[in-house]
Amino acid sequence: MSKIIPEWSDWLNMTEAERIKCQDRWDTYKNDGQDIVNKVLSNFQEEYGNIPQLEILGKAICHGGIWVISVRYPSVFDNRKIPNSFLGINIRAIFSDDGKK
């Protein structure tokens, strides 16, 4: 792995500020950091995947080239149950009242 993409063990030992700074150097459109994000997603699914009405859609690249974890939940949902970011990756929500989950 290149110097701008740390090993998983190093990622886990970084502070949130260090993770953000590291991500700023990634070219997500060339899949920089994809392995890290896959592991973060897996950990997020393990920790939050059992919350009723929460659907974890997967990883995505947000406008501007930032990796995010995409989730969907109804507009009436206690979003305090999930963090704004998890292991340095932002969580982005889609609100749905169309009967899905």
Question: Residue 39 contacts by C-beta under 8 Å, 6 or more apart in sequence?
Answer: 8, 11
2 occurs within a structural domain: no
Domain that holds residue 78: 8-95
How many Cβ atoms sit within 10 Å of the Cβ of residue 77? 18
Strand partners, 68: 60, 90
Would you place residue 98 in the very low, low, confident or very high pLDDT band (cuts 50, 70, 90)? low
């995947």: which residue's tokens?
49
Inside any domain, residue 3: no
Instruction: Specify the pLDDT at position 101.
Output: 46
What percent of the chain stands above pLDDT 90? Answer: 81
Give yes or no for a contact between 39 and 69, defined as CB atoms under 8 angstroms apart.
no
Q: What is the CATH number of the domain that holds 54?
A: 3.30.70
Quick check: is 13 in a domain?
A: yes
Predicted TM-score of the model (pTM): 0.89
